[in-house]
A and B are shown apart, each in its own frame.
Chain A
Amino acid sequence: MAKLPPKSMPLHSTPAAADGQLNTHTALPKGVMRWVLTTNHKEIGTLYLLFSLSMFFVGGVFALVVRAELFQPGLQLIDPEFFNQMTTMHGLIMVFAAVMPAFTGLANWMIPLQIGAPDMALPRLNNFSFWLLPVAFTLLLSTLLMPGGGPNFGWTFYAPLSTTYAPASTTFFILAIHIAGISSILGAINIIATILNMRAPGMRLMDMPLFVWTWLITAFLLIAVMPVLAGVITMMLMDINFGTNFFNAAGGGDPVLFQHLFWFFGHPEVYIMILPAFGIVSAIIPTFARKPLFGYTSMVYATAAIALLSFLVWAHHMFLVGLPLVAELFFMYSTMLIAVPTGVKVFNWVTTLFRGSISFEPPMLFALAFVVLFTIGGFSGIMLAIAPADFQYHDTYFVVAHFHYVLVPGAIFAIMAGAYYWLPKWTGHYPNERLAQWHFWLSVIGVNLTFFPMHFAGLAGMPRRIPDYALQFADFNMVSSIGAFFFGTSQLLFVIVVVICVRGGKKAPAKAWEGAEDLEWSVPSPAPLHTFERPPKFERSTS
């Protein structure tokens, strides 16, 4: 019997929860304390998403400072020292405070709803994991005001630039990353516990929606690699404050060891930021093509394969540090291999569209743009995997173009797609379609205007992370800067759409999208505070 994503069953939802009959939490704290103390997965999900959105703008402003300085050759607005702090902070904030918490927020909201669980398995831990984040990033941002400035060594913080030669605030940076890392690990434990223990009776692992599957695998990746990050920053802490020489060559240490450790964390981290995006897109495309996903099973296996391979490719970030030939060849081959399961995913999405009945609501627009633009980022990824060619590409704007294609129209477009897809469930209203379309088209134009010219700048020879550049790169940079302001400004539209959607708009029924099949569409829109207090009976659909 063929397996299909689960079908919605409005009969098994728990409308009783809507009027609070089953609600035993009688005295909810009021005002701010309600949000500080909440253990409800939906409220915590909302907190995560709002935090992520605000950090998206903070990181975005840093990026715009960088792009403003790079608008033309010469130093006009900021000095090189502050420029380095801006590129570093932009990267750190976007990775750790915008993209990762956004996915955790979506997981909090949607995983219990998609598996028919009443809440996350460990609700108080859930509250704690969230509230660690504002602490971590307040600390991180405060380093910008400290004497000597904030972190200025790039988001990859290579030693010894980040140890012996680092500003005094680096110890605070380490503490901030430790706190954010603990938050991620606790969040991951909670997600695994929820998925493994709290599925609706009858729902097997291979019945779970792909967003749940991709998050389950992502959570295992997090638990595997966040401790490695914690280890490497602890070694930095020791080098800076306690006289050890892990990374100090003058004391017998090894700066290349830093990079091995960092990228053993860093490469799986890249997939942590993209696997849940695959899950979101795999939910949206079948919904709006009104046709089941072509290969559910192969999607699950491809996700697992990508996750396993991600532990074997880390040194492709280090092709230039002087690795021996056999190591270069091993990491080149293993990296190229990742193209296979990634290709399987793209082929699956395209085949799902084939002979479907396709409509173009905002979530679908973002999902389709994701498929095209993420694939372009994948192509430059294959090029970068070719070690001899990487001797030219490495550390240039070609790399900057590559990872922004997989992260902005990749991860962030998928998050936007997810937000538009589930906003009716969260708020009970459809997002304003006109505005959402404007947001989509401006974003697509802006993102390509910003990042496509970077391919050319990099191939022509522009290194990354420089505050000023030779004249032959001027035109590409000007276009990128204009694109960046265009893209950045158009994201304000998203805020407007969300605010309007929360306050009103076209009412959404329980099943907000005609082709939507998963369990979350069986509960009312907006989803009441407590859902599935009695577990729904999961029935596998057949075809």
Chain B
Amino acid sequence: MRALRYWSTYIAVLPFLVPTASYAWNMPIGVTDVSGDIYRLHMTIFWICVAIGLLVFGAMFYSLFRYRHAKGAKAAHFHENTLVEVLWTAIPVLILVAMAVPATATLKQMYDPSDADLDVMITGQQWRWRYEYMGENVAFTSSLSTPRVQISGEEKRGETYLLDVDNPLVLPVNRKVRFLMTSDDVIHSWWVPELAVKQDAVPGFINENWVRINEPGIYRGQCAELCGMDHGFMPVVVHAIEEKAFDEWIAERKAAAEKEISGIDRDWKLAELMERGQATYEAICVSCHQPGGKGSPPAFPALAGNEQLIADQAWHLDRVINGVSGAAMPAFRDTLNPVEIAAVVTYTRNAWGNDTGDVVQPSVVAEQVDQ
């Protein structure tokens, strides 16, 4: 009934909606030199196609009106004319060569990631992105932060619906940034239209691409390659900031990361691990194992009330650290730090009525990860 009401309202207001739409309906010019080149290439070819279309369809519709049987047109019987046939083979070839020249130049430029000032490793995971600033000891994952109640429609959808993340990728303007892309599971594709960067993240491969952003701003995109259930829910957000601000930001992140690692050896309390663990669960685990640890069997088992999990802490920890081969559960030994792993395991063992009372210490996890 509710669906019906939606539909009827929308159909009724449709004629008013369409003309007022001020949304983009063409490829963005973007904020890099390459994106501008691609845009101009796109428009050039578009107008060439329009011109050819006008000629061909013009000739066609002229013939359809002029030579109607109903108006007593008598059919001619000519056919085959070598000159005409050579011309309509040769002219398209010339047009295509004219298109290929600028296309080749742009492609060569896109394929030159040399002399980068910064390397960022981008790893696709079902269904989030992990960013690692190479050589800076800074790494984090970036997941959708649009509230589920907006997806279900219980809450009004915000302007950046489905295009918000918890931790955006922060990049400096005016510096050449090289991306190294790979995946931990299936093929993803990292795409930001304004940067004209779209590149497949393929497990077992490292693909290169690069960007030099000309203007500070927030640029949004999405995973472009079907990667399973939540393919539509793994956005990309890039914050491009001034160079000086970027240097400060990365120094800050670096210090924070070092502080966390130094805390591994101390004795952690249940409450602080629970708090940390809940945050990690909601960023990383929830997309498969669902809110409340309900899971969605058979692919993603429930964690709440999972008897094997409750009974066997070592088994549980091993699955999080090393993953499950042949199933969707990835190994988190490299993507989460020992504090995060300890926290999320502790959280899972105590939340949703699992109540084991177990406290897994980061130092224990660190030992197991190092093995």
Contact = CB atoms under 8 A, between A and B. Distances in A.
Nearest to A455: B25
B45 A383 contact: yes
B106 to A, nearest CB: 4
A321 B80 contact: no
B68 A347 contact: no
A77 B85 contact: no
A336 B200 contact: no
B24 interface: yes
B96 interface: yes
Interface string B82-122: 00110011001100100110011011101100000000000
Interface stretch (B224-232, B241-249, B259-267, B311-319): B224-232
A469 B162 contact: yes
B203 A160 contact: yes
Nearest to B65: A358
Contacts of A346: 56
Contact of A336 (B10, B74, B100, B222): B100
A340 B159 contact: no
A359 interface: yes
A464 B100 CA distance: 27
Contacts of B352: none
A395 B224 contact: yes
Given A2-B80, A295-B80, A357-B73, A375 B56 contact: yes
A543 B89 CA distance: 26
Contacts of B93: 340
Given A71-B7, A160-B186, A357-B67, A294 B79 contact: yes
Nearest to B69: A359
B229 A80 contact: yes
Interface in A243-294: 249-250, 253-256, 289-294
A147 to B, nearest CB: 6
Nearest to A381: B49
Contact of B200 (A298, A320, A351, A471): A320
Contacts of B108: 325
A466 interface: yes
Given A336-B96, A475-B17, A469 B186 contact: no
B76 A355 contact: yes
A372 interface: yes
A68 B112 CA distance: 44
Contacts of B200: 320-322
A297 interface: yes
B99 A394 contact: no
Contacts of A43: none
Interface string B2-16: 010011001100100
- State the majority secondary structure of interface residues on B: mixed
A76 B6 CA distance: 10
Contact of B226 (A153, A293, A388, A543): A153
B75 interface: yes
A296 B326 CA distance: 56
A255 B187 contact: yes
B224 A387 contact: no
B202 A321 contact: yes
Nearest to B34: A388
Interface stretch (B188-196, B274-282, B337-345): B188-196
Interface stretch (B128-136, B150-158, B165-173, B359-367): B150-158
Interface in B177-230: 185-187, 189, 191, 193, 196-200, 202-205, 207-208, 220-230
Nearest to B296: A81
A478 B18 CA distance: 10
A336 B94 CA distance: 11
Contacts of B232: 80, 463, 465-469
Contacts of A84: 226, 228-229, 231
Contacts of B223: 463
A460 B25 contact: yes
B60 interface: yes
B59 interface: yes
Nearest to B55: A350
Given A332-B107, A395-B225, 11 more contacts: A2-B79, A84-B226, A161-B228, A165-B185, A321-B200, A328-B107, A350-B60, A351-B84, A383-B49, A389-B41, A391-B110
Interface of A: 2, 4, 71-77, 80-81, 84, 147-148, 152-154, 158, 160-161, 164-165, 167-168, 249-250, 253-256, 289-298, 320-322, 325, 328-329, 332-333, 336-337, 339-340, 343-344, 346-347, 350-351, 353-359, 368, 371-372, 375-376, 379, 382-383, 386-389, 391-392, 394-396, 456, 459-461, 463-473, 475-476, 478-479, 482, 543
17 contacts: A73-B161, A80-B230, A84-B226, A147-B298, A160-B203, A249-B202, A290-B75, A329-B107, A337-B96, A350-B63, A354-B63, A382-B45, A389-B38, A389-B42, A395-B191, A395-B198, A396-B224
Q: Which 5 A-B pairs have the closest CB atoms?
A: A249-B204, A466-B232, A322-B207, A456-B25, A379-B49
